Amino acid sequence: MTGFENKVILITGSADGIGKSMAERFAELGSNLLMSDLNENINLIADEISKKYSVKAVGFKHDVSVEEECINAVKKAMDEFGRIDVLVNNAGITRDNLVLRMKEKDFDDVISVNLKGPFLMSKNVFIYMSKQRYGRIINIASVVGQSGQAGQANYSASKAGLIGLTKSLAREFARRNVTVNAIAPGFIQTKMTDKLDEKSKQQIISQIPLERLGLPRDVADAAVFLASDSASYITGQVIGVNGGLYM
């Protein structure tokens, strides 16, 4: 894949899991990175990636559910790099429980991070992308936003909402040559799915036609495609990276 040298990619929640894997994949291709995360170690993680791939990678502590912090994260990216080509709204949390046991706070927190966060980031990044007349926004949704999932009413609702946000932003931003798409991963091997016990994992795998959990890299490759010139006529779409679990 070519055309990524010196592109500027802002990835939220990139200290670990899928976000970190995406950061490494874009760095391999020569892109510069603004890596944001709640995790204090994000600076060290960005430094490691910077050295390993000889790109500029800047880490920035950031809570996507707080507007002021989103404004600062976007400002930081503009101060460091002067432009933002790609925003990946990746930060996400789970607070699983059956609805009857789910606390109001667990519902609100998940919606704040998984849905309000991408709204705040997209809004603030679009101010600059619209001036550039170029930009790519990639939202990391989930298969359970498409299918629903018992025990994850808050999380499924946030991800279904994110798909609605993706399509609405795609319509609003298209005239400025900014595309907005979503990736809906299935079950991917990260600390989010490490919480599942072995029996639940085997049960999930038995329902996946490709008979394995996904790897963070599988999602990263889809993000690279959506950010590439090959995807310039694709907007408002949801790409499933789920081993066939949901069709």
Part in contact with ligand NAP (CB under 6 A); list of ranges 120-128, 146-154, 189-197, 201-209 = 189-197
Going by the DSSP 8-state scheme, the letter that residue 228 receives in this structure is: S
Site membership for ligand NAP, residue 140 (CB under 6 A): yes
> Do 208 and 187 touch, CB atoms closer than 8 A?
yes
Supply the DSSP string of 133-201, one letter for each residue. Answer: T-EEEEEE--HHHHH--TTBHHHHHHHHHHHHHHHHHHHHHGGGTEEEEEEEE-SBSSHHHHTS-HHHH
Per rule CB under 6 A, is residue 175 in the interface with ligand NAP? no
Q: Are 158 and 114 a contacting pair, CB within 8 Å?
A: yes
Residue 50-89 contact track with ligand NAP, rule CB under 6 A, x = bound? ------------xxxx------------------------
Residue 155 annotated among the catalytic residues of the structure: yes
Task: Indicate whether 193 belongs to the interface with ligand NAP (CB under 6 A).
Answer: yes
Decide whether 177 or 193 has the Cβ nearer to ligand NAP: 193
Q: What distance in Å separates the CA atoms of residue 77 and residue 148, rounded to the nearest whole number?
A: 35
Q: Work out whether 115 is an interface residue with ligand NAP (CB under 6 A).
A: no
> Does residue 31 interact with ligand NAP by CB under 6 A?
no
Candidates 128, 134, 155, 246; catalytic one: 155
From first CA to last CA, the distance across the chain in angstroms is 27
Rounded Cα distance, 24 and 190, in Å? 15
- Tell me the catalytic residues: 155
Binding site for ligand NAP (CB under 6 A): 12-13, 15-19, 37-39, 62-65, 90-93, 113, 140, 142, 185, 187-188, 190-193
